[in-house]
Structure 1
Amino acid sequence: MSSPIQRRVGQVFIPVRDMAAAIRWYADLLGLEPGVASHEDTIYDIPTEGETRLALDANRREFDASGPPRFFLWTDDMAATVAHLRGLGVTITSAVEDIGSVFFVQLEDPDGNALMVCQRT
């Protein structure tokens, strides 16, 4: 079976309510200098490595952030990651878990979006 749709993710959008606060929070989380939103302050493209892009999206300020993480970020050092999260006062919602192929920890951003960080084992 074939499809004209490619099996590659282009961009992930994270819904946020307060763009300026979200930019600062994600900049701290990822060790970046805060940037400026575009599209009348409703979209902020987070600098990423690789092909998949990540954007904060304030176009719909009313949303339900419940549910599991919809993507994850990589780390090479889970202990340093957890220490970094704690140092920033981030809400960590799970213990570090080992599922064989990866270790992972789950957390929430200030809007309640579930995020995950994984380390290959």
Structure 2
Amino acid sequence: MRNRKKLKKHVVTAITAAKRIFDHNLGDERTAYRMSQTHGVCRNVLQKAFKEEYGVGIRDYRLRVRMEKSKAMLAEGKDAKEVSITLRYSNPSAFNNAFKKYWKVTPKEMFDFTEGDSFCA
């Protein structure tokens, strides 16, 4: 068990609520600032506690969750435009750019292969 400062109850409530929102509402645009206001916690405290508890900052966590979901949706056969709308990107190009930056390949490159290929994403 790591030695860390015990978080106050309202801070734990705030980071738990934030994680739940980000996990279940993938396109949710709530910022750390808005989340902190909702739960009465300083934004910096919320961000620091979230990173301490989950090992990654809020922005990076949200991106990871969205990119994992986008990858799963594309693997199910959904097209990039549909994924971008579902995940509330401003447009398909913004989604494609974010996907390429995160995965180092475009959605098409990741999932456009012939049956004989043994590409593992």
Q: Greater relative contact order: 1 or 2 (C-alpha under 8 angstroms, separation 6 or more)?
A: 1
TM-score of the superposed pair, with normalisation by structure 1: 0.27
- Specify which structure has the higher proportion of helix: 2
- Specify which structure has the higher proportion of strand: 1
